[in-house]
Amino acid sequence: MLTSQQILQEAKDLSGYMTGLRRDIHAHPELGRQETRTQALILRELAAMGIEARPCAGTGVLGVIRGGKAGRTIGLRADIDALPVQEETGLPFASQNPGVMHACGHDLHTASLLGAARLLAAHREELCGTVKLFFQPDEEGDGGAQRMVDEGCLENPHVDAVFGGHNSTGTQAGQYGLKYGPCYAASNSFTVTVRGKGCHGAYPGSGIDPIAVAAQIVVALQTLTSRRVYATDNVVVTVGAFHAGTAGNIIPAEAQFKGIIRTFGPEMRRRMCEMFRTLVEGVAASMGAEAEVCLVESYPGVVNHEGMSALAEQAMVKLVGRDNVLIQREPNMGTEDFGAFMNQLTIPGCYCDFGFGDGQRECRFPAHGCHYRANEEGLAYAAALFVQVCLDFFEAGDAL
Ligand code: NI
């Protein structure tokens, strides 16, 4: 079986291949649900490796590498979509699509998973299990991961664990970052419409003021995070828009506000949404008004599985040594749809950081910005980790 040294060496030998693909994808970025060129590129590369693959969730790709020996199945995920950003890096392989850029580095994810696939396919006979490749569309939009799950990517064969990661320029190439437990928050958005009774502003007694009611609700919502959960629970409720009225002397009939709820894990998510609804409707009713609550479930967030995280950490240590594995303490209140592949936490999964930094020289700009740049040396390390995690997962057998 491959040693960690061999894996890293073979991944480095594939650096030129991955860099070429990455630059090609970077020059031709596509927004979510429109990744047709990227999809064709992935299908072409997998076909050349002799890996069976098919389109999935519209513009995504599902690939399967069946090992020479029987065993369990692991899913590896890379998102493939770009962002509506006008690139300003001046790089020779900068975006040729005006207003679209791989500003979140999903081109790096795609290229490194293709590199990992090539490495795994070259050792197919030695593999004791099956590797599924999830090239997922539309991460930045409204959830390509869930659409792949809905199309059955977790079955036939059933996926026993999932693994993926995001590029980070705050972490150096040759390093990895890992957060045990809560990693990315689950996201819900809400719209609340408070209905009162409009009237002349001089005679509030003849109406019911929805602005006063909605304002009380917004204040009361602060107690959800400060009084109803523990300080360590990592919950956010934000009201980001509040609209009502047309003139200073008219009490309107309606007020509306919108916002987001961020939580970790399905149980806290359910509880917060329930408390939110109860509080909003209760405060409105207590003041003679009515509130219509519209709660929309967005991404489920990522809560890393303990055993799978430990396995990933060991894989990282084997490849780059203890000093280059950064264990993170704080979860990210941002969101990421990788969690959909963990299927309500019924499938053990781990999502980590792949180092793509260069010591803050060229690569010091934030993701989602027009100057974002990454250190391509990170490609080999990302690919090597995909491979090492697979092999270690197969070796662990039912122990995980
Ligand atoms: Ni991203």
DSSP labels for 151-189?
A: TTTTTTTTP-EEEEEEEEEEEETT-EEE--EEEE-EEEE
At residue 142 the predicted structure's pLDDT band, cuts being 50, 70 and 90, is confident
Which residues, at least 6 apart from 88, have a Cβ–Cβ distance to it below 8 Å? 370, 371
Of the candidates 147, 107, 100, the one whose C-alpha atom is nearest the C-alpha of residue 22 is 107
Q: Are 389 and 176 in contact (CB under 8 A)?
A: no
Going from the Cα of 103 to the center of ligand 1, the distance in angstroms, rounded, reads 8
How far apart, in whole angstroms, are the C-alpha atoms of residue 61 and residue 236? 34
Query: 151 exposed, middle or buried (CB, 10 Å; 0-12, 13-18, 19+)?
Result: middle
Task: Report whether pLDDT(270) > 90.
Answer: yes
Going from the Cα of 288 to the center of ligand 1, the distance in angstroms, rounded, reads 45
Of the candidates 383, 324, 329, 318, the one whose C-alpha atom is nearest the C-alpha of residue 357 is 324
pLDDT for the residue numbered 398: 80
Going from the Cα of 275 to the center of ligand 1, the distance in angstroms, rounded, reads 31
Going from the Cα of 146 to the center of ligand 1, the distance in angstroms, rounded, reads 16
Going from the Cα of 183 to the center of ligand 1, the distance in angstroms, rounded, reads 14
Task: Report whether pLDDT(387) > 80.
Answer: yes
Q: Are 169 and 218 in contact (CB under 8 A)?
A: no
State the average pLDDT over residues 354-369: 94
Task: Report whether pLDDT(344) > 90.
Answer: no
Tokens of 28: 């031709």
Task: Report whether pLDDT(241) > 80.
Answer: yes
At residue 400 the predicted structure's pLDDT band, cuts being 50, 70 and 90, is confident
Going from the Cα of 106 to the center of ligand 1, the distance in angstroms, rounded, reads 6
What is residue 63's three-state secondary structure? strand
Which amino acid is located at 126 in the chain? E
At residue 23 the predicted structure's pLDDT band, cuts being 50, 70 and 90, is very high
For the chain, what percent of residues have pLDDT higher than 70?
100
> Helix, strand, coil % (nearest 5) of the chain?
40, 30, 35
Going from the Cα of 209 to the center of ligand 1, the distance in angstroms, rounded, reads 43
Task: Report whether pLDDT(14) > 90.
Answer: yes
Q: In the block, which residue shows the tokens 């998973």?
A: 113
Q: Looking at per-residue confidence, does 239 or 143 come out higher?
A: 239
Going from the Cα of 315 to the center of ligand 1, the distance in angstroms, rounded, reads 23
How far from chain centre, in Å, is Cα 356?
17
Going from the Cα of 20 to the center of ligand 1, the distance in angstroms, rounded, reads 20
Task: Report whether pLDDT(399) > 80.
Answer: no
pLDDT for the residue numbered 36: 98
At residue 168 the predicted structure's pLDDT band, cuts being 50, 70 and 90, is very high
State the average pLDDT over residues 190-198: 98
Task: Report whether pLDDT(169) > 90.
Answer: yes
Q: Are 51 and 119 in contact (CB under 8 A)?
A: no
Going from the Cα of 212 to the center of ligand 1, the distance in angstroms, rounded, reads 40
Going from the Cα of 115 to the center of ligand 1, the distance in angstroms, rounded, reads 19
Average pLDDT, the chain: 97
Which residues, at least 6 apart from 360, have a Cβ–Cβ distance to it below 8 Å? none
Going from the Cα of 142 to the center of ligand 1, the distance in angstroms, rounded, reads 13
- Name the pTM for this structure: 0.91
pLDDT for the residue numbered 138: 97
Residues flanking ion ligand 1, Cβ below 5 Å? 104
Task: Report whether pLDDT(20) > 90.
Answer: yes
Tens of pLDDT, residues 201-217: 999 999 999 999 999 99
How far apart, in whole angstroms, are the C-alpha atoms of residue 79 and residue 302? 15
pLDDT for the residue numbered 227: 97
pLDDT for the residue numbered 44: 98
pLDDT for the residue numbered 185: 96
pLDDT for the residue numbered 370: 97
Task: Report whether pLDDT(257) > 80.
Answer: yes
